[in-house]
Structure 1
Amino acid sequence: MSDTRSRGSRSLFGLVGDVPKLVKNLVKGEIDLLKAELIGKAKIIGLAAGLLIGALVVLLYAIGVLLTAAVMGLAVVMPAWLAALIVAVVMLIVAAILGLIGWKRFQKALPLTPKRTIDSVKDDINAVKGMGNKPSSRPGIRS
């Protein structure tokens, strides 16, 4: 009977001794699986990005053709130089409007300093130091 116990104890110690190796192999296997999955997704994303860029290039050429058609269409009822000038002026007006809207939106994001996050971190530091007597300014958080 003591022989059975010692074999059981040895097996248990052997299993416990194998745990670090098994965990290491498990982690390595999971990392390999993660790499394989991410590489597969990266290939798909790369192909999709290439197709989207190709579509964008074709779209830009199509816009050029449409603008040429607009100039040619207007040239039927007026001189070609005037038709081209009218189309160019309309394009400049559209570009100016889009530029102004974009500039105003850009200014809303300035300055780029994450003020709320900095204030939140300062509150957290003060709370850890024991100096946070005022309630937090973050929504849903109570001191």
Structure 2
Amino acid sequence: MSEQRKVNTPHDPAMPPQNDSSVGGLLRQLTHEVPSLVTKELALAKAELSESIRATKAGAASVATGGAVLMGGFIILLMSAVYGLSTVMAPWLAALIVGGVVTVIGLIMVSAGKKKFEASSFKPERTIHSMNKDKEAVRGHTS
């Protein structure tokens, strides 16, 4: 009789019946939907992490560039000290002004790059929110 039942009720095992509201039917439907849900959540987490890594790379590049500019400013400041000690003429003042401006620019660039390293940028906010919604939806179906 069970063979006859299979023949009379053709259904694809990949697609759970939509109108089966028994506990068994709901559990069967849940087991079919959970793997898809987990796969989608993992894909979202992967996308968020790659976005965070991209932002971290940009921050590292900005810090490295700012560090190079800062080093250039420091070298010019050292040159201005040498000029100031060797002569009491205008060339050292020009080097001091240029070195000060370059140093300020380098400090601004480094601080802007450091802001991109905030810990919150590594937290997959959308995935956490989506997982919480999924958890609440499952709780709603099981209650």
Bigger CA radius of gyration: 1
**Could you say which TM-score interval applies, normalised by the shorter chain?**
0.3 to 0.5
TM-score calculated relative to the size of structure 2 = 0.44
Larger relative contact order, structure 1 or 2 (CA cutoff 8 Å, min sep 6)? 2
